[in-house]
Amino acid sequence: HYYLNQPKSILMSRQRPLSPHLQIYKPQLTSILSILHRGTGVVLSMGSVILVSWIIALTLGRETYLMYSKIINHWFSHIVLLGFTFGLFYHLSNGIRHLFWDAGYGYDLKQAYISGGIVVFSSLFLTALTWLIIYIKLI
């Protein structure tokens, strides 16, 4: 109740943060991977629009599908799809990691760093493998 009775000018003059935040904490692998997991969830939600658009283009006829194909085969669209693919595999791999955590495994800091490395490696590997298979099928 002490703060409730103080003038606003005294409360506003304090230059310290109310709670610890990003300016104080050094980024760690575990925090970066957690933030990336949330970010890829958002990317997958937005990427679902691309998939739904593809299905709608299929139902609207040949001309609409050809127009959609022209857009999706642009180099910038390939970069977006590459990011979507990485997001999909990262979110999947990290989701499996979270399932192990939910079962009570992997809480030790060393194990958390090892599993984090596995998540990053598997995401990059599966993304590269997927795009390699797509590239080979297109040739």
Cα separation, 30 vs 36, in Å, equals: 10
Q: What are the DSSP calls for the chain, one per residue?
A: -TGGGS-HHHHHT--S-SS--TTTSPP-HHHHHHHHHHHHHHHHHHHHHHHHHHHHHHHT-HHHHHHHHHHHTSHHHHHHHHHHHHHHHHHHHHHHHHHHHHTT---SHHHHHHHHHHHHHHHHHHHHHHHHHHHHHH-
> What local confidence, expressed as pLDDT, does residue 33 receive?
95
- Sorting pLDDT into bands at 50, 70 and 90, what band is 27? confident
User: Which pLDDT does position 102 carry in this prediction?
Assistant: 93
Tally helices (H) and strands (E) across the chain: 5, 0
DSSP 81: H
Cβ atoms of residues 110 and 76 within 8 Å: no
Confidence at 65, pLDDT banded by 50, 70, 90: very high
pLDDT of residue 24: 72
